[in-house]
Structure 1
Amino acid sequence: MGLLSNRVDRGSLKPGDHIYSWRAAYTYAHHGVYIGDNKVIHFTRRGQEVGTGTVLDLLLVSSGPNRGHVPCPTCISPADGHGVVISCLDCFLAGGVLYRFEYAVNPALFLAKARGGTCTLAASDPDDDVVHRAKYLLENGFGCYNVFKNNCEDFAIYCKTGLLVVDQSTMGQSGQAVSIIGGPLAAVLSTPLRLVTTNVYGMAVTAVGVYCASRYAADIGMRRDVVKMPVEDLTARLATGLLQVISPSLPVPPLQPSPVS
């Protein structure tokens, strides 16, 4: 991989890699976990997405194949399901280019890669743990797909790190979601400068600074509203609805057994 590009060739892949491919003319990327044997486990919409209610719903089509791509017979999924699927690498890429997400990057490299959804400051767990989480979620699901709170990148990052944002009222781990919001946010926050200066370059520099600061602070490796959650606990809490009421500042309490009637 180069300094600013995460593009890789297939021969360099190993089980546990977090990979992605751009969709919709580089508007958004679809992410997954490579588990070996030319197979990828990834989180898709599958009719369960909670939309944004804006024009973004027409643009953010990362979990759908590129136009013109016909899935191979072995990768055609049933109409129902929980959204976590396994596909061959070709069907995952859907005609796109293969990229590998980077972990434990230094701050300078993180900021140099200005586009979110390509790297993180957080460290990855061992590959065996990553593959175990992905396979477990393939059987048990990852909740309801949401563009900003629980998307394909959130899924892959959880598989790699075991870190989860437990407050469902906030944004998830996804760096590309932060980028989508961070750009307009930077523009809004830099607007007051118009009152004191007409220097377009100064306002542009300020907007870039605000954008970079927001990306850095929201990265999963810097956030304090996350917990390390075993995958077995995650799926149990999703099933019981307990995930939404846990305070990230407190230890995760054990699940209580159901009363015997």
Structure 2
Amino acid sequence: MGLLSNRIARESLKPGDHVYSWRAAYVYAHHGIYVGNDKVIHFTRGRGQEVGTGTVLDILLVSSVPKRSETPCPTCNTQISESHGVISSCLDCFLAGGSLYRFEYAVTPALFIAKARGGTCTLATSDPAEVVVHRANHLLSNGFRCYNLFKSNCEDFAIYCKTGLLVAEQGVVGQSGQAISIIGGPIAAVLSTPFRLITTNVYGMAVTAVGVYCASRYIADIGNRRDIVRVEVEDLTAGLATGMVHVVEGGSSQVALAASS
């Protein structure tokens, strides 16, 4: 673990770890929770569950799914081609031939900004390992919404398992570090454009764009947001089952979610 890479050896894995593996030449990463005994619980999209955007992002969506196989894995008996939602698989199936990385929690602001690539760390603090594993197992049995790149993806799932926190806005949960990075680049370019009135130096413009991008990532991180809620996993799945999840109290990040009758 360090500034340049979060890559780890399998021997250092512990139950409750948030792990990920890069897909499609480091364009996108797939995230999950290691629960011990060589098992990872993760949130994925099955065949026909893709969220079409009509853009190049559709390619990224496909790349986030573990490598498909037409036969069940002999180790974990998982048939990836038919799997969707929250699933459990062996570590090899989760990695799909990629390397193993561990997501970092409670990083300092300086380290967070230094790691310019989103989806590798957060300012938020992780809950105890036993709580993390409990959430992952509960969601394995009860589900975690429909997959959506920007609102409810594999990283959102893993971060929720680790922290119990969700972004809540008009019943919507989501926005992971990876999604913010995808959105943040174009936003940085647009917002930095007015600075042409101050300087036409290409280096100055580049520094400004990077600064805007880093600031947007920092502000949007789940450990630094104000529009987040903390919710027990049992309450979350009960609310999702009704299709009506809403905030029942205003205020801080300790607000709860509940099902609407």
Which TM-score applies when normalising by structure 1?
0.90
User: Shift of the alpha carbon at 1:224?
Assistant: 0.9
The one-letter code sitting in structure 2 at the alignment partner of 1:103 is Y
Q: Paired residue for 2:79?
A: 76
Q: In 2, are the aligned partners of 1:167 and 1:247 still within 8 Å (CA)?
A: no
Secondary structure at the aligned position of 2:82 is classed as coil
Q: In 2, are the aligned partners of 1:148 and 1:171 still within 8 Å (CA)?
A: no
The one-letter code sitting in structure 1 at the alignment partner of 2:82 is A
Q: Paired residue for 1:182?
A: 184
Higher relative contact order (CA 8 A, sep 6+): 1
* Whole-angstrom CA distance in 2 between matches of 1:171 and 1:137: 15
2:29 matched to 1:29?
yes
The worse-fitting range, judged by mean Cα deviation, of 38-47 and 153-162 is 38-47
Q: In 2, are the aligned partners of 1:149 and 1:168 still within 8 Å (CA)?
A: no
Q: Paired residue for 1:63?
A: 64
Secondary structure at the aligned position of 1:61 is classed as helix
Which TM-score applies when normalising by structure 2?
0.90
Secondary structure at the aligned position of 1:60 is classed as helix
User: Shift of the alpha carbon at 1:190?
Assistant: 0.8
Q: In 2, are the aligned partners of 1:51 and 1:146 still within 8 Å (CA)?
A: no
* Whole-angstrom CA distance in 1 between matches of 2:15 and 2:257: 32
Secondary structure at the aligned position of 2:152 is classed as coil
Q: Paired residue for 2:131?
A: 129
The one-letter code sitting in structure 1 at the alignment partner of 2:233 is V
Q: In 1, are the aligned partners of 2:242 and 2:259 still within 8 Å (CA)?
A: no
Q: In 1, are the aligned partners of 2:45 and 2:83 still within 8 Å (CA)?
A: no
* Whole-angstrom CA distance in 2 between matches of 1:253 and 1:21: 31
Q: Paired residue for 1:153?
A: 155
2:15 matched to 1:15?
yes
Structure 2 gap ranges (5+)? none
Q: How many pairs are equivalent?
A: 255
* Whole-angstrom CA distance in 1 between matches of 2:69 and 2:232: 39
Q: In 1, are the aligned partners of 2:156 and 2:176 still within 8 Å (CA)?
A: yes
- Deviation track 1:38-71 (CA, whole Å, cap 9, x = no partner) reads 0000000123343333221123334323489986
Structure 1 gap ranges (5+)? none
2:256 equivalent among 229, 247, 252: 252
Are the structure 2 counterparts of residues 253 and 196 from structure 1 closer, same or farther at C-alpha, using a change threshold of 3 Å?
A: closer
2:201 equivalent among 191, 199, 202: 199
Secondary structure at the aligned position of 2:157 is classed as helix
1:119 equivalent among 118, 121, 124: 121
User: Shift of the alpha carbon at 1:192?
Assistant: 1.6
* Whole-angstrom CA distance in 1 between matches of 2:203 and 2:71: 47
The percentage of counterpart residues that share the same residue type is: 73
- Deviation track 1:167-215 (CA, whole Å, cap 9, x = no partner) reads 2576724101100110111011111222332100111111011001000
The worse-fitting range, judged by mean Cα deviation, of 83-92 and 42-51 is 42-51
CA RMSD of aligned residues (A): 2.3
Q: Paired residue for 2:54?
A: 53
* Whole-angstrom CA distance in 2 between matches of 1:188 and 1:162: 34
Secondary structure at the aligned position of 1:145 is classed as coil
Aligned 1:84-123 pairs, distance under 5 A: 84-123=86-125
Q: In 1, are the aligned partners of 2:72 and 2:80 still within 8 Å (CA)?
A: no
2:227 matched to 1:225?
yes
Q: In 2, are the aligned partners of 1:226 and 1:248 still within 8 Å (CA)?
A: no
